[in-house]
Amino acid sequence: MSSTRERRDDRGTSAILSNQAEEKVLGGLLQGEVDGCLPLATCDETENDRQALICFKSKLSGPIRVFASWTNASSEHCNWHGITCSALPPRRVIALDLESEGITGSISPCVGNLTFLTRLQLSNNSFHGSIPPELGLLSRLNNLNLSINTLEGNIPSELSACSQLQILGSWNNSLRGEIPLSLTQCKHLQDINLSNNKLQGNIPFAFGNLLELHKLVLASNRLTGNIPPSLGNSLSLTYVDLGMNGLTGAIPESLANSSTALLVPYLL
C-alpha cells in the first residue's frame, strides 16, 4: 500500500512540476509580449536591425534633422526618420528612404544585415566610395535607387542574388567597369537606369530576355560593341535609350521595326 501511495505522490508531484514549468514558460512569453518581443529570437532580429542602422549611420554625416532620432539610446528605431517597418510583429525594417537629405559618406556594408529590406532609396545625396557587395544579401529587395551621388567602382555582381529586384537606378554617378552579365538573373527587373556613368564593355545580350523589363536607359556611358538584337524581340520593353556611347553597327532590324520599343533620338 505504501509503495502504491508513493507512486501516486510521485505522479502528483510530476504533474505539479509540469504545471509550474508551463506557467513559467507562459509567463516568459507574456513578459515578452509586454516587452514588445515574442519570442526571444524575434527580439534578436529586431535588435539586429537597430544595430545595422546604427552601423550604417556611423559612416555618414548630414543635417541634424535627418539623424536626430537615430540614437543608440532609442530602441524605437521604427520611428526614426526615413525608416519604415512592417506593420505586424516582428516589426522588421522594410524600407530605408533618405532621398535628397544632404547626406555625405559611404554606404556601409552593414546595410546588408537589414534582411527584410524591400526598398533602399539613397538618391540625390553625396554618397561616395563603392557599392557594397553585401547588398546582394538583401533577397527581398525590389527597389534600389543610388542615383545622383558620387559612387565609384564596379557594379557588384552580387546584386544578381537580389532575386526580387524590380527597379535598379544608379544614374549620375562615376561607376566603371562592365555591366555584370549576372544582373540578368534578376528575372523581375522592370526598370534599369545606369545612365551618366563611365561603364564600359558590351550591353548584356540577355537584357532582351527579361520578360518584365519595360525601360532600359544606358545613355552617356562608354559602352561599345553592337546593340543586342534581342532587345527588339522583347514584348515588354517600351523605352530604350542607348545614346551617347561608343556603340557601333546598325540598329538591329528587330529593334528598328519594333512597335513595343520607343527609341529616343541619337541612339548611336
What pLDDT is stored for residue 139 in this prediction? Answer: 97
**Does 8 fall in a domain?**
no
The predicted pLDDT at position 73 comes to 75
d(CA 81, CA 179): 33
Domain membership flag for residue 75: yes
Q: What is the CATH number of the domain that holds 95?
A: 3.80.10.10
Total length of the chain? 268
Residue 27: inside a domain, yes or no?
Answer: no
Exposure b/e, 45-72, CB count within 10 A at least 16 = b: ebeebbebbbebbebbebeeebbeebee
Does any domain span residue 221?
Answer: yes
159-186 residues labelled b (16+ CB within 10 A) or e (exposed): bbbbeebbbbbbbbbebbeebbebbbbb
pLDDT at 168: 98
Place of cell 516587452: 35
Q: In the structure, how many helices (H) and strands (E) does the chain have?
A: 5, 16
Provide the pLDDT for residue 263: 55
> Is 261 buried (19+), middle (13-18) or exposed (0-12) by CB count in 10 A?
buried
CA distance 254 to 232: 5
Say yes or no to pLDDT of 5 above 50. Answer: no
Provide the pLDDT for residue 42. 56
| Contact yes or no for 201/181 (Cβ under 8 A) | no
The per-residue pLDDT for range 151-202, each reduced to its tens digit, is 999 999 999 999 999 999 999 999 999 999 999 999 999 999 999 999 999 9
In a domain, 9, yes or no: no
Residue 232 covered by a domain: yes
Q: What is the pLDDT of residue 35?
A: 38
The model's pLDDT over 95-148, given as tens digits with 9 standing for 90+, comes to: 999 999 999 999 999 999 999 999 999 999 999 999 999 999 999 999 999 999
pLDDT greater than 70 at residue 33: no
Q: What is the pLDDT of residue 251?
A: 82
Please state, rounded to an integer, the average pLDDT across all residues of the chain: 85
- pLDDT at residue 47, rounded to an integer: 92
3 state SS of 201? strand
- How many domains is the chain partitioned into structurally? 1
Please indicate, yes or no, if residue 10 is contained in any of the structural domains. no
| pTM for this entry | 0.82
Percent of the chain as helix, strand, coil, to the nearest 5: 35, 20, 45
Q: Does 49 map to a domain?
A: yes
Q: Is the pLDDT of residue 6 over 90?
A: no
Residues 244 and 242: their CA atoms lie apart, in Å, by 7
pLDDT confidence bin for 260, thresholds 50/70/90: low
Domain that holds residue 226: 34-263
259: confidence class by pLDDT, cuts 50, 70, 90: low
Q: pLDDT higher for 21 or 255?
A: 255
Show the CA angle centred on residue 66, arms to residues 62 and 67, nearest 5°: 85
